[in-house]
Amino acid sequence: MSIISDNLKRIKPSPTIAVTQKARELRAAGKDVIGLGAGEPDFDTPDNIKDAAIQAIKDGDTKYTAVDGTPALKKAIVEKFKRENNLNFNIDQITVGTGGKQVLYNTFMATLNKGDEVIIPAPFWVSYPDMVLLAGGKPKIVKCDERDGFKLTAKKLQKAISKKTKWLILNSPSNPTGAGYTKDEIEDLAKILVKNKKIHILSDDIYEHIKYDNFNFFTIAQISKLKDRTLTMNGVSKSYAMTGWRIGYAAGPKDIIKAIGKIQSQSTSNPSSVSQAAAVEALNGSQDFIQERSNAFKKRRDFVVQSLNNIDGISCLTPNGAFYVFPSCKGLLNKKTKLKTDSDFVQKLLEKENVAVVQGSAFGLDGYFRISYATSMENLQKAMDRIKSFCENLN
């Protein structure tokens, strides 16, 4: 009899982490691999944030804190929501976790019972379904078409709702597509959700500040009738280049926040005290660099999208946020190329040209692949040349 739990057997390792690890291993073996799999800004954490962490260490701020966040960080989060999203929360409506990932995991562990359904629009971030499965819930995957910009429509939402629906996950701008929901699109979804009063909404806003082309960010909790049923998750990892600091947070109904804290008290306990001090400075300090870095990301996005659309058999939408593109490789999956799936495409690209990307099927939509352009323009230029060469030599 296996010692491993049946629950664990229901999930799989993260495909994005697997690709990143494979790229590391190949580099260590001497291969000139360009990794486009990691969802991590290549920029460094700003100096003022580092200085705040150093000062916290010097001040002896190295002890346990409150399980779900220091008062100072919770206050900074309250002010952030008020300043940037016109949302008013009290301190007891805020939770802080070891990265946004833990906040999401805690949420599902704290709220899902066996058989509860969670509507997850696809393409989705790879961890959503597995977190739901671990918590005993049932992921209800709704495939979103490229012609709709890979976004959930009100019609598809209505069709997916059942008596067992407990949560809807919305991620805007999205990982893996970079698609952002407009205010009108969110209001269309809200009309359905207002009528279905038992459904809660988990809004994953982690890429809020990485946006382009005058895209106006709007989060569903700004619709007053849904605020009391919405948990809004965010963090400092992407916008502030603080992935390794591991600080995520959420705001929402008191009962859910309290339940999340209870789960956290019996798992990791508090996030790093030093990281929390750094996050206070991130939220309260100068925000000027965010636009500067978004401008740099936009230049990379434009280059990558144009390059991909100049390759026969590849087509790519222009995203309005995050730092990913989600191109189609369907035009290259045929008998002539001997590629049957997007996984075949990704594997052969790595083998032949040493470019690591992630197959679309990992995100719930076959026939696509994800590229992270959170790397240097030099790397992107080399990668695009290699992808073009690979595709041209398939026939």
How does pLDDT run across 46-61, given as a tens digit for each residue?
A: 999 999 999 999 999 9
Sign of CA dihedral 98, 364, 33, 300: negative
- Residue 14: is its pLDDT beyond 90? no
Between 12 and 123, whose confidence is greater? 123
Indicate the range of 6-15, 242-251, 273-282 predicted with least confidence.
6-15
Res 331 pLDDT > 80: yes
The residue-averaged pLDDT of 85-110 equals 98
For the chain, first and last CA: distance in Å? 49
DSSP annotation string for 144-183:
--GGGTT---HHHHHHH--TTEEEEEEESS-TTT-----H
Q: What is the pLDDT of residue 250?
A: 98
| Mean pLDDT computed over 162-191 | 98
Q: What percentage of the chain has pLDDT greater than the value 70? A: 100
Q: Domains along the chain?
A: 6-44+289-392 (3.90.1150.10), 63-284 (3.40.640.10)
CA dihedral 66, 71, 73, 75 (to 10 degrees): 150
Kindly report the pTM of this predicted structure: 0.96
What is the per-residue burial (b if ≥16 Cβ within 10 Å, else e) of 311-340?
A: bebbebbebbbbbbbbbbbbebbeeebebe
Handedness of CA 379, 385, 387, 390 (dihedral sign): negative
Express as a percent the part of the chain with pLDDT over 90: 90
Q: Which of 109, 108, 89, 105 is nearest to 97 (CA)?
A: 105
Q: Could you tell me which of 36, 87, 34, 76 has the C-alpha nearest to residue 52?
A: 76
6-20, 57-71, 282-296: range with lowest mean pLDDT: 6-20
Q: What is each CA distance from 77 to 52, 60, 248, 265, 291, in whole angstroms?
A: 17, 23, 10, 21, 20
Query: Which pair of tokens denotes residue 370?
Result: 């994800």
pLDDT score recorded for residue 31: 87
pLDDT exceeds 80 at position 17? no
Cα separation, 181 vs 387, in Å, equals 30
Alpha-carbon distance of 211 to 291, in angstroms, equals 9
What's the pLDDT at 277?
Answer: 98
pLDDT band at 238 (very low <50, low <70, confident <90, very high): very high
Average pLDDT, the chain: 96
CA angle 252, 256, 262 (to 5 degrees): 130
Judge whether 269 and 259 are in contact, CB under 8 Å: no
Q: How large is the average pLDDT for residues 194-209?
A: 98
- DSSP-derived secondary structure letter, 394: -
pLDDT band at 190 (very low <50, low <70, confident <90, very high): very high
Confidence of residue 19 (pLDDT cuts 50, 70, 90): confident
CA distance 263 to 110: 7
Tell me what pLDDT residue 38 has.
Answer: 84
Residue range 12-27: mean pLDDT, rounded? 79
- Within a 10 A sphere around the Cβ of 251, how many other Cβ atoms? 26
Q: What is the pLDDT of residue 4?
A: 87
Residue 156 has pLDDT above 90, yes or no: yes
Task: Tell me the residue ranges of DSSP E strands in 192-292.
Answer: 200-204, 230-235, 248-251
